[in-house]
Structure 1
């Protein structure tokens, strides 16, 4: 043993002891936790939302009303206005909530609702709330607001250390996303709460899709929220976060209110002020698509590795969708079919079912490690007959119409984040589920299955009319090698490797693809 090794041993030992003490911290016992459930529909029928929705519900029976929210600023405004329109309750569940412009404005919307007497229940996955401990602790002080953290880390700083001592638990996350007002109207879909999901901020701007729902499906969603709220993984914030008082809450809200006057919040504030969403909703003038809608959702016990395999959302989806007979159009930002998925697509293609997939290109993907898990399946998928498209990263100044119907694309530097697929041109899925091992086996997920040809046709339009201008078509050349076809008007460019990705990035993806980590992606 060298002298240097002898000198360094005590330091290493001390560091190891500190790390063990940090990761060894146990979660606090939940000896006391308030019990609450979603308000019965009968109890909220006399709210503004209840009264506005009642005539349409009476006309459409067991069907639910669906409105797509593809435009990011519409999606932001709809959440704020639902919070403003709530009279009785708000049940809010998210994987990521950032303390940025949109996140702070939405926290203020929840606070204003609570000030009017609305009961607010906020359930957040603890992995996606970096920098939010003090704001959430302050918000939790309000008598009408209760915050719970799902599958929390026992240490609040350097959370990653928790993985060293409890990886099997902490590797499971709550990926569900929902926003429900008065058990009468709800928003679900792919968006988290952060600037990049609402068309602002820097870096990737996530082209995404949410839906607003009214009708029977909302009560089903509220019941699902209740089982997550009461699950063994949902910890009251007060057990984990620093102690705050009314003074800190007032300071927090004054800061959020001042933010509304700032330049960085201008477009958000304008989107709310200009929106006719709530006025139209309360007047019964919104054009909903009425259809049978069913919910698929993982048991929250999945986060503890305790759910029944038959109850996994992936199997619920398979049972609900049955056997496709003509087409499957799939949009997934993180697409890793795995061997079972590859076998499924091969079987579908062998039966004459057309399978088309849109995912992120390497240049647009915000998680290169996940792209490595996908890249090795491109050739087998194409050989099976699957049509494969990869969204391009759009340059500043390129004009792309907003909305799912016109390309599922946001503004500059867009990255696909929507999770949706259509089966046989008559059934549409929208939710949080990515077609990858993490969504299948590790994270909890949520989504709606909508039986409507008009909505399913949006994806058909996307693939048939819009992808040429915003996505590469991936094909095999005569030698069986991958090619990426880029179309810019009448110009056609063929690339022999991942376009707009340097040799180093491509090399890293190749190295990552050799690692035995697919089950974690």
Structure 2
């Protein structure tokens, strides 16, 4: 009885009031009052129905693009992210936002609240600026004891906003797989993510603007002020010694020097940034997807958008997904495609490379049926020998690598780049976004680059003559064969086998 009473009291204390609605009118930037808009307008001559695309596979390029766009902003900056770390790259971009706000730029930052633990002071410092607004998506009521929220309101808090969007003056946008943090931008020497973004200007940006407004004004979006309820937020204790602070400054200086030499930065200096003009469509979830447990009915979802835009593959299907859980139904569909003659290649993380072991447990059980159907299956090694997705010099010299890019390529015509993983969580639980690019040349180049570099950077998973899984590590002259998942301990493999028998697939 006492446990029921305690949980009832916790539930009452943990409930959130309705979000205070956003009442400010939507701002519209035109070609007459923005220098960026004028430049893009001149580029779009005779291309009004197309979008200019610049792939950002290199981590330093991705940081340089964001930093440059913040510097170029004149009117608005709208940012939407699942994660924003208070680390070297996160602080650099936050400081750039504050400088933009000092110039009069209106900054709106929408963050999912799942990964903001310990960041209330950091975010409050941003929100205190009169030109910066911070809102949290599906927030936790308890700021310190967040586990209480999961106990009492799991159905609501399990739904997260996994979207990524970076919009400048409503004219240019970056979408893709990257959050904001050192592991996404090649800063430091820890494990780095192999990821992919795309810079877009032109027609699709109008849809991206509207999508951001939907999330910013949604019932799940709360102002930071309302979430904190005027509670004072103490600054974090200074734990760095003077020597450590100097080291931190040196790391920042060295990183900025590396970014300054990125291809994107060099192309900007030489005014030769190449854009590939394409037919591009935004694919995204209705923000009401996060309120399904409370009875909301989304008007559209990214799964249907992807199906409509990509269509059915006729010859080739390439799937790149760091968290790949195809489920029984998805596996049956892939097997049927293979039987119909579609050549399928899948790249995901190896057990040694993944940063989310339970997801690997959800994926592992489907390897054999996929392989029996003739599907090519590769698992990324925990270290990269050479760039795989176009290029990424930021991965070299890191202590480890992990796949984080989410991409689907269909035949030689279209490809998806975004936040959507091939797993039940992306399909049914979290909100996602991305773009489908209809460009045969870009799609072919991506596939060729990836497939040429996969053998040296990933284990090829096969079945031996007895139907058992083996992992091939291809070398210059021969392949080494592993009977167990490479670079893993027996304890880790046992843990994965244990997790694979638990009924957790819908959560993965």
Same fold? TM cut 0.5 = yes
Instruction: Give the corresponding residue for 1:35.
Output: 23
SS of equivalent residue, structure 1 residue 24: helix
CA distance in 2 between counterparts of 1:347 and 1:21 reads: 51
Question: 1:197 Cα shift?
Answer: 1.0
Instruction: Give the corresponding residue for 2:150.
Output: 163
Residue 367 of structure 1, aligned match among 356, 374, 379: 356
Partners of 2:70 and 2:77 within 8 A in 1: yes
In structure 2, relative to structure 1, the CA distance for the partners of 1:31 and 1:457 (3 Å cut) is closer
In structure 2, relative to structure 1, the CA distance for the partners of 1:37 and 1:300 (3 Å cut) is farther
Instruction: Give the corresponding residue for 2:479.
Output: 492
CA distance in 1 between counterparts of 2:62 and 2:391 reads: 16
Matched, 1:126 2:84: no
Give 5+ residue unaligned stretches, structure 1.
Answer: 1-11, 252-257
**How do residues 82-231 of structure 1 correspond to structure 2 at under 5 angstroms?**
82-201=69-188, 203-231=190-218
Matched, 1:351 2:336: no
Partners of 1:77 and 1:268 within 8 A in 2: no
SS of equivalent residue, structure 1 residue 447: strand
Instruction: Give the corresponding residue for 1:328.
Output: 317
CA distance in 2 between counterparts of 1:345 and 1:139 reads: 46
Partners of 1:33 and 1:236 within 8 A in 2: no
Partners of 2:58 and 2:394 within 8 A in 1: no
Residue 395 of structure 2, aligned match among 410, 428, 439: 410
Partners of 2:60 and 2:262 within 8 A in 1: no
Partners of 2:389 and 2:450 within 8 A in 1: no
Matched, 1:376 2:365: yes
SS of equivalent residue, structure 2 residue 204: helix
In structure 2, relative to structure 1, the CA distance for the partners of 1:21 and 1:281 (3 Å cut) is farther
Question: 1:284 Cα shift?
Answer: 5.8
**How do residues 300-311 of structure 1 correspond to structure 2 at under 5 angstroms?**
300-305=287-292, 306=295, 308=297, 311=300
Question: 1:259 Cα shift?
Answer: 8.8
**Range with bigger deviation, 77-86 or 290-299:** 77-86
In structure 2, relative to structure 1, the CA distance for the partners of 1:242 and 1:401 (3 Å cut) is farther
Give 5+ residue unaligned stretches, structure 2.
Answer: 239-244
Partners of 1:74 and 1:271 within 8 A in 2: no
SS of equivalent residue, structure 1 residue 58: coil
In structure 2, relative to structure 1, the CA distance for the partners of 1:38 and 1:84 (3 Å cut) is farther
CA distance in 2 between counterparts of 1:247 and 1:514 reads: 44
Instruction: Give the corresponding residue for 2:282.
Output: 295
Residue by residue, what CA displacement relative to the aligned partner does 1:67-97 show, whole Å, maximum 9, x if unpaired? 0111111111111111111000000000011
SS of equivalent residue, structure 1 residue 175: coil
Residue 466 of structure 2, aligned match among 471, 479, 502: 479
Partners of 1:151 and 1:173 within 8 A in 2: yes
Question: 1:172 Cα shift?
Answer: 0.3
SS of equivalent residue, structure 1 residue 285: coil
Question: 1:450 Cα shift?
Answer: 0.1
**Range with bigger deviation, 215-224 or 57-66:** 57-66
Root mean square deviation, CA, Å:
2.8
TM-score using structure 2 length:
0.91
**How do residues 309-324 of structure 1 correspond to structure 2 at under 5 angstroms?**
311-324=300-313
Matched, 1:48 2:43: no
In structure 2, relative to structure 1, the CA distance for the partners of 1:520 and 1:202 (3 Å cut) is farther
CA distance in 2 between counterparts of 1:48 and 1:268 reads: 29
Question: 1:24 Cα shift?
Answer: 3.3
Partners of 1:298 and 1:312 within 8 A in 2: yes
Question: 1:402 Cα shift?
Answer: 3.8
Question: 1:21 Cα shift?
Answer: 4.3
CA distance in 1 between counterparts of 2:114 and 2:336 reads: 37
SS of equivalent residue, structure 2 residue 46: helix
In structure 2, relative to structure 1, the CA distance for the partners of 1:210 and 1:31 (3 Å cut) is closer
Question: 1:23 Cα shift?
Answer: 4.5
Residue by residue, what CA displacement relative to the aligned partner does 1:238-265 show, whole Å, maximum 9, x if unpaired? 01126489998xx9xxxxxx99980121
CA distance in 1 between counterparts of 2:225 and 2:234 reads: 16
